[in-house]
Structures are given as structure tokens and as C-alpha cells.
């Protein structure tokens, strides 16, 4: 990490505001253009048939229906709440176990030697391949979803935390030791902060994996949730509803990711790039 010259930071901060505003304007413009193109190609010009891709009007009608009357066993809010809840439970459990385990593996070679073989065997199994076993074990309820989310979110948390801890800068550890830091202080004040960017990378990947496996698990079998709504819409050949479910998944996933990014920015506020 190269030290930056004094004064570079305020300058950067000043440049920050207009740039964000400009990117927001560009982003909004792009979305508006896409929506207009969508409306023109479906409703106005009929370039794409309604069975293949719904018009905006059909989309809004489907949205209204799932919002007020409900669809596939629940209203949109109920589906979203169910899915977000499962993602949170599975993700948090995976992180709560995965980060400490990865930390220990990176910190102590004996633990690494002990755990690594298990990892080598389990890691190549795609998380989705766990779904059948999860259903056999836990049936179609919440537990099976939480289990597969746990399995998929666990691995990136462990691996990235492990890598982060292994790459903690040696001269910083030495600097702490020669200034009398105890083992606990070295862990809290050197290992944790220096590994935290990598730990957060792991959390981000874990969160993405959580959403992917949740939707897949709900597609295979569920009573409620966005994947269930998607599956039902597919069976009914209801393309507007398929689109509604997909958009809902995208927004829910994006919101949880933003939440995590906020947390990361708060924790790693000392970074030159932040």
C-alpha cells in the first residue's frame, strides 16, 4: 500500500459529490431508456409476443394481483419476508461459524492441518447438490432452506477469512509485538483489522451464494417464498408473474447487499480508498 501525499484526501472528497450526482443521473437515464424501449417493443410495436415477454401493463397487473390478492400461497410482502428471513438466518449462521473457523485456520497451522482435509472433500460439491439431501433430512420446511444456505454461504466465509488472516502483514504483527502488545491485543488490533477487507469480501460472496441457493431450493420445493412464486408462475406459464418474482428477487438481493456494503464502509473507514 503506497502512502498517499498529504492533501490528497480532501481533494478527493471534494471531487466526490459531483461525480456521484453525475453517475446517478446517468443511471436513472439508462433505466428510463430501457423502460421506454420495453414499452415500445411490447405494447406499441408488438415486436415481442406477450407470451415470451410481458408488456409493462401486464407486468403492473401481475404486480397488483400478487400485492393485493396474493399468488402461490402469499402476497408479495409475505413471499419477500419469508425469503429475506431465510437468507438472514442461513447467512448469519454460516458467518457466525465460518468466520471464526477461517480465522483459527489462518492463525494456527495445526488447526488448518486438521480442518483442511475435510474442506478438500466437501468444497467441490456444488451447494445446490445438497438440496435433495436437505429435503430428505428436513422436508420442505424452513430448516432445509436454512441448511442449504448455510452450506453455500459457509465456504466463502471460511476461505476468505482464512486468506485474509494468512496475509496479515508480518511487519505490523512485529510492530505490535515490539511495542509490548499481548496476544489478545495483536489479534484484536492487528489481525482483525488487517484481515477485515478480505473478511468482508467473504461475507459479500456468502450473501450472494445465499440468495442463489435459496431461490434454487425454493424452486425445488417450498410453501412460501419468492422462489416458490417463481416456480408457480412458471407452471402457470404466467410470464408477467415470472417477471414480477424475478424483479422482487433482484431488489431484495440488492438491498441486502447494500446493507452489507454500508456496514463494511463503517467498519473499514480508515481505508485510503474509502
Partner 1 sequence: MSEIVIDKVSKIFGDGGAKPFVAIDGVDLRVEDREFISVVGPSGCGKTTLMRMVAGLETVSRGEIRVAGKPVTGPGPDRAVVFQQFALFPWKTVRENIVFGMRSRGASREERDEAVTYYLRLMKMEGTADKYPHQLSGGMQQRVAIARSYATDPGVLLMDEPFGALDAQTRTIMQEELVRVSKGNPRTVMFITHSVEEAVYLADRVVVMGRNPGHIREVIDVASTRQAERWSEEPIDDVMEKPSFTHLRGQVWRLLREQMGADV
Number of residues that bind partner 1 (CB under 8 A): 27
* Residue 129 interacts with partner 1 (CB under 8 A): yes or no: no
Would you count residue 18 as binding partner 1 (CB under 8 A)? no
Per CB under 8 A, does 6 bind partner 1? yes
The least CB distance from residue 192 to partner 1, in Å, is: 9
Q: Is 61 in the site for partner 1 (CB under 8 A)?
A: no
Q: Counting contacts by CB under 8 A, is residue 272 touching partner 1?
A: yes
Smaller CB distance to partner 1: residue 4 or 139?
Answer: 4
Query: Of 130, 146, 154, 152, whose CA–CA distance to 83 is shortest?
Result: 146
DSSP tag of 214: H
22 vs 265, beta carbon nearer partner 1: 265
One DSSP character per residue, 126-138 reads -GGGGHHHHHHHH
Site for partner 1 contains 187 (CB under 8 A):
no
Residue 46 vs residues 31, 42, 55, 56, 61: alpha-carbon distances, Å: 21, 5, 9, 12, 18
For the CB of residue 187, give the shortest distance to partner 1 in the complex, in Å.
Answer: 14
Nearest to 59 by CA among 264, 261, 253, 238: 238
Question: Judged by CB, which is closer to partner 1: 219, or 267?
Answer: 267
Binding to partner 1, residues 146-185 (CB under 8 A): 171-172, 174-182, 185
Nearest approach in angstroms of CB 20 to partner 1 is: 22
CA angle, residues 144, 94, 207, in degrees to nearest 5 = 90
Least Cβ distance, residue 39 to partner 1 (angstroms): 49
- The answer to whether 153 and 94 have CB atoms below 8 angstroms apart is yes
Q: Does 247 bind partner 1 (CB under 8 A)?
A: no
Write the burial class of residue 218 (CB in 10 Å: 0-12 exposed, 13-18 middle, 19+ buried). buried
Alpha-carbon span 118 to 131, nearest angstrom: 20
Contacts to partner 1 by CB under 8 A: 1, 3-6, 8-9, 171-172, 174-182, 185, 189-190, 193-194, 268, 270-272
Amino acid at each position: 500500500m503506497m502512502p498517499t501525499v498529504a492533501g490528497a484526501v480532501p481533494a478527493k472528497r471534494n471531487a466526490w459529490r459531483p461525480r456521484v450526482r453525475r453517475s446517478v443521473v446517468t443511471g436513472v437515464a439508462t433505466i428510463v431508456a430501457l423502460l421506454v424501449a420495453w414499452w415500445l417493443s411490447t405494447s406499441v410495436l408488438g415486436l415481442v409476443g406477450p407470451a415470451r415477454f410481458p408488456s409493462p401493463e401486464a407486468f403492473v397487473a401481475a404486480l397488483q394481483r400478487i400485492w393485493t390478492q396474493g399468488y402461490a400461497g402469499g402476497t408479495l410482502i409475505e413471499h419477500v419476508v419469508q425469503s429475506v428471513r431465510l437468507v438472514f438466518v442461513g447467512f448469519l449462521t454460516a458467518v457466525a461459524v465460518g468466520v471464526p473457523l477461517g480465522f483459527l485456520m489462518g492463525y494456527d497451522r495445526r488447526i488448518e492441518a486438521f480442518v483442511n482435509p475435510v474442506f478438500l472433500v466437501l468444497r467441490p460439491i456444488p451447494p445446490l447438490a445438497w438440496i435433495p439431501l436437505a429435503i430428505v433430512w428436513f422436508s420442505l420446511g424452513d430448516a432445509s432452506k436454512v441448511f442449504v444456505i448455510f452450506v453455500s454461504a459457509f465456504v466463502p466465509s471460511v476461505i476468505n477469512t482464512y486468506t485474509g488472516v494468512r496475509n496479515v502483514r508480518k511487519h505490523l504483527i512485529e510492530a505490535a509485538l515490539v511495542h509490548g502488545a499481548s496476544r489478545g491485543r495483536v489479534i484484536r488490533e492487528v489481525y482483525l483489522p488487517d484481515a477485515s477487507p478480505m473478511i468482508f469480501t467473504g461475507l459479500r460472496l456468502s450473501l450472494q451464494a445465499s440468495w442463489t441457493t435459496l431461490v434454487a431450493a425454493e424452486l425445488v420445493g417450498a410453501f412460501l417464498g419468492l422462489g416458490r412464486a417463481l416456480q408457480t408462475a412458471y407452471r402457470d406459464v404466467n410470464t408477467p408473474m415470472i417477471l414480477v418474482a424475478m424483479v422482487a428477487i433482484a431488489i431484495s438481493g440488492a438491498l441486502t447487499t447494500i446493507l452489507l456494503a454500508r456496514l463494511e464502509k463503517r467498519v473499514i473507514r480508515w481505508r485510503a480508498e474509502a
